[in-house]
Each structure stands twice: as C-alpha cells, then as structure tokens.
Chain A
C-alpha cells in the first residue's frame, strides 16, 4: 500500500489546497500528522477526507514524519511519500517519481530543486545558502547530493524499516541522508518543482540545523 505523509504545523492556510492536489493525482492514503497546531489544520484535513494523526504538543517536523512512518509500517505500507504541507511542492511530480523509482529499483528517492529549471528560488538561496548547505551536508552525512533539505522523498518498505528519525526538529533531513549511507540504502535524486510562497529557512535556520545535527551526534 502507498501512503502519503504530510507533516503539518499551523498550515490551515495551505493544507486544504495541498490535500486536494494530492487527491487530484489519484492518491488515496493521505496521512496528515498534525503537529500540535493551534489553528484549524486538523479540522480542515479531516473534513477534506484524510486520516489525521494528532500530536498533542508540537514536536517538530522530524518527529511528525516518524509518527507517520510508524503508522505506515503498522498498516503494511510498501511505499511512503513525504510531502510538505506548505504547498510548495507540485503533486504532479509524484506519479513520475514513483515510476522512475520502480524502474531504477532504489530504496529511496530524494527530490531535488537543482536537476531542472522549474524551481524559481530567490537568488540568495540558489547561489549562496543552498550551495553552502550542500557542502555542509556532504561533510556531515558523507553523501553528495545536488540539493539540501528538500522535504520531498519517497521511501520503500526496506528504507522505511531501516530509517529511524530521532531528530525531532529540522535536522531530520541530514539524519535521513546519514542513515541512507550508513544502512547502505540505494537512492536516486529526482527533479521536483518547488514554488516559493515564503523564503523558508534562511541563514539562521541553517545554523540551527547544523547545531541540532552536531548535538544529535554528541547526545544519544
């Protein structure tokens, strides 16, 4: 069974659109993990007809993804898609990505904004922040990727069983990449479109992630 996991924290503005986008692609098992939102995120998601798992308190995106992964594992998932709730991804990318993933027979598919020209990002992001983040990620995880911290990914059952996200907040992305390497999972990068409504994580956010990764290395 295929599951789409959408971690959401106070995304009442976008969640409805994201869900209808996913439904319009024929996707069925959509799991919204409401991460202790204080707005109507959960209600909107439920009304739209998705399964909602609710974190009573905010635990961060990494924690939400792992909750979704656990749910999927318990419900015989063979494939899981991670999809952001802020409406920046294009749901039309999923079907093609699934085909490519099956063709190449890999455990993990990672979305990348840098493999085609569809993603229009602010130039500071494109030429300064992301290249730096890529370099740091390479250094921290040992995997050389064309993008850093892209929330679009597809995991096979094997990857789902192997990967355990312990980084509750934003460093989960680097953690997943580290585990792909440690657990010898096969992976490929696939071009996805990201539309920017907001700037997203700037330099401050990036520094915070590095801090979380390092802390995660030091404290078990």
Chain B
C-alpha cells in the first residue's frame, strides 16, 4: 500500500467517526448519517482500488480513473462554495434584520 493510501484511509476513518459522533449528538439526521457514511466509504473504496473508477472514466472519455475523481470533486467543491457563499450572505442579511428590529424594539420599550 502506498503512503498516500494509508494517510487518506486514516483521514476517511476519522471523518467517519466524526459523522457518527455528529449523528449521536443529534446534529445530523439519519439520512445525513447514511449519505455521509456512504460518501466516505465510497471514497475509501476509490482510494483502495484506484482502478475501480477506470470504467466510469472510460465511459465519459477520460483516460484515468483518478482524473475523473479529481474533476468531479473540484466541480462539487466549487458548487458547494457557491452555495455556502449565498447561504452566508443571506444569514448576514437575517442577522442585520434581527439586530435592527431589536434596536428599534428596545427603543419602543424604553419609551
């Protein structure tokens, strides 16, 4: 086994433990638990059997399985960043709205 494989597997196990911990703490739904567990297990399979993605890679016209994984991951990550940005911005707006409401309400209460 290559060093990188060991490192990644250890990291995925760590992530899996965190996922289960989050579920136990009630921060994650059962669907969330299943989805993220499957995700990290699938990642482990890809790392342990790099050739397992070769079939799909060929299917879409990419030479190596590893390349396919990188391309898909990057696309997914950028999309997630985009969603997070929007989410943070809307949270910011909500916080401002609340802050403003409290400020104006406090004033009314004190009159």
Contact = CB atoms under 8 A, between A and B. Distances in A.
A70 B100 contact: yes
Interface of A is mostly: mixed
A57 B92 CA distance: 11
A51 B107 contact: yes
A33 B102 CA distance: 12
A63 B103 CA distance: 12
B99 A53 contact: no
A180 to B, nearest CB: 22
Interface string A45-78: 0000001011111010001001100110010000
Nearest to B93: A166
A219 interface: yes
A56 B104 contact: no
B17 to A, nearest CB: 34
Interface residues of A, number: 19
Given A53-B107, A54-B106, A63 B100 contact: yes
Contact of A55 (B85, B92, B103): B103
Given A219-B85, A219-B89, A57 B103 contact: no
Given A57-B95, A59-B95, A33 B89 contact: no
Given A219-B86, A219-B89, A71 B96 contact: no
A40 interface: no
A58 B92 CA distance: 11
Closest 7 CB pairs of A and B: A53-B103, A67-B100, A219-B89, A63-B96, A55-B99, A59-B96, A59-B99
